[in-house]
């Protein structure tokens, strides 16, 4: 009897101690806005490639809201453009680029009203643009092909969710937008003035993760990346069914969705390695360097006092972008880890339709 009680007490103590030291992995909150290049994430969610107990998708109505949520520590990861990742890093956020999601190849565009036939016609006109760097970058890259300067036109900031309404009610003469709004505006008689296919490999979307989360919960991040590749494989093998799943979210029919995907490039694992791991510098470096130069030229970098304090930069650097002294920033640090790109295709595959 004494032995039984002793064993019972010992077992109870072991269970209590085990419970004390067992730590549950916090859910990874991933923020996105509506963009055709992010849809494979929601396809992964729909097909249950993503474990809802480990990864929670949070959709915002605009890119600006995604960025603010990251700043406020509401989300742990975000699908954003490269310039937005640079901006967050410049503010002192420690983030890690773990994946290049897509490269815009016509998906971003400047759309003019019916009476606007080319970019030169925008002289003296009002142009709508979302208040982020990539919208302004698209606008200026387009206008670089003309003789127009900033003094020749006016801009107004319009959130992405309001692009369609602002254009159709003629609040603006042209607007810088992206899929799926791009397709909807063209259907309504808008004129395509310029798109990202004319500046290849410059508009890039990346998946960033808060560095401290990545350090502590690498397995969860790895599962998210594998789920992404699962979704790409499923989309390639079942394009019609995938487009049907996406149609309800995007309010487009399957033909429109498949056409929209033709205007972006979805890098596979091998291409991601080239973009993130090329020695001595990743390919992404050149694009990032060009973007930083543009941000500096147009004074889009935040002032030093806006940067978060007490944030130390990791020294395991893949991309260091030195900014001039006027910005009072020693470097912007982004990462391209080798750990999270699969060395072999081990995700789900299925017969083609």
Q: How many residues does the chain have?
A: 353
Report the alpha-carbon distance of residue 228 to residue 55 in Å, rounded.
12
Mean pLDDT of 287-295: 81
Pick from 156, 109, 168: nearest CA to 137: 109
pLDDT of 88 strictly over 90 = no
pLDDT of 106 strictly over 70 = yes
Residue 87, pLDDT score = 84
CB 283 within 8 A of CB 200: no
Residue 289 class from Cβ within 10 Å (0-12 exposed, 13-18 middle, 19+ buried)? middle
**128 alpha carbon, distance to own chain's centre:** 21
Backbone angles phi, psi at 204, to 5 degrees: -125, 135
pLDDT-derived band at 23 (thresholds 50, 70, 90) equals low
Residue 83, pLDDT score = 86
pLDDT of 130 strictly over 90 = no
Residue 150, pLDDT score = 78
Partners of 129 in the β-ladder: 157
pLDDT of 19 strictly over 80 = no
Indicate the range of 100-109, 228-237, 272-281, 300-309 predicted with least confidence.
300-309
For the chain, what are the domain ranges?
A: 28-103+204-334, 108-198
CB 148 within 8 A of CB 120: yes
Give tens-digit pLDDT for 182-234. 999 999 999 999 999 999 999 999 999 998 998 899 889 989 999 999 999 99
- pTM above threshold 0.95: no
pLDDT of 264 strictly over 50 = yes
CB 28 within 8 A of CB 217: yes
Pick from 100, 134, 94: nearest CA to 333: 94
Domain with residues 108-198, CATH architecture: 3-Layer(aba) Sandwich (3.40)
Mean pLDDT of 138-148: 88
Residue 297, pLDDT score = 79
Q: Is the fold of 28-103+204-334 the same as that of 108-198? A: yes
Residue 191, C-beta contacts closer than 8 angstroms, at least 6 positions apart: 111, 112, 113, 114, 116, 117
Structural element, H or E, at residue 271: helix 269-277
**CATH superfamily ID and name for 28-103+204-334:** Periplasmic binding protein-like II (3.40.190.10)
3-state class of 220 per DSSP?
A: helix
Give tens-digit pLDDT for 330-352. 333 444 444 344 433 344 444 34
- Average model confidence (pLDDT) for the chain? 80
């Amino acid at each position: 009897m004494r032995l039984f009680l002793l064993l019972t007490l010992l077992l109870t103590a072991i269970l209590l101690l085990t419970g004390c030291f067992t730590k549950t992995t916090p859910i990874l909150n991933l923020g996105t806005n509506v963009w055709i290049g992010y849809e494979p994430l929601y396809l992964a969610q729909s097909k249950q490639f993503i474990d809802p107990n480990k990864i929670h998708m949070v959709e915002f109505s605009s890119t600006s809201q995604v960025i603010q949520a990251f700043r406020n520590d509401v989300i742990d990861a975000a699908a954003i453009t490269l310039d937005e990742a640079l901006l967050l890093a410049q503010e002192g956020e420690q983030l890690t680029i773990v994946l290049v999601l897509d490269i815009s190849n016509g998906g971003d565009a400047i759309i003019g009203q019916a009476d606007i036939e080319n970019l030169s016609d925008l002289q003296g006109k009002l142009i709508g643009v979302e208040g982020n760097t990539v919208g302004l970058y698209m606008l200026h890259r387009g206008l670089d092909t003309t003789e127009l300067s900033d003094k020749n036109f006016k801009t107004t900031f319009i959130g992405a969710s309001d692009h369609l309404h602002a254009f159709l009610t003629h609040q603006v003469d042209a607007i810088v937008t992206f899929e799926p709004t791009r397709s909807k505006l063209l259907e309504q008689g808008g004129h395509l003035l310029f798109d990202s296919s004319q500046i290849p490999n410059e508009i890039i979307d990346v998946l960033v993760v808060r560095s401290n989360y990545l350090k502590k919960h690498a397995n969860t991040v790895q599962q998210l990346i594998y789920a992404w590749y699962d979704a790409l494989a499923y989309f390639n093998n079942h394009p019609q069914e995938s487009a049907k799943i996406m149609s309800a979210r995007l309010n487009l029919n399957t033909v429109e969705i498949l056409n929209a995907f033709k205007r972006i490039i979805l890098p596979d694992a091998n291409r991601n390695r080239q973009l993130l791991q090329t020695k001595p510098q990743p390919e992404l470096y050149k694009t990032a360097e060009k973007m930083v130069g543009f941000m500096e030229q147009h004074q889009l970098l935040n002032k030093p006092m806006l940067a978060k304090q007490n944030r130390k930069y990791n020294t395991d650097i893949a991309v260091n972008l030195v900014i001039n002294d006027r910005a009072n920033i020693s470097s912007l640090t982004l990462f391209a880890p080798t750990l999270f790109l699969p060395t072999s295709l081990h995700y789900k595959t299925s017969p083609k339709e």
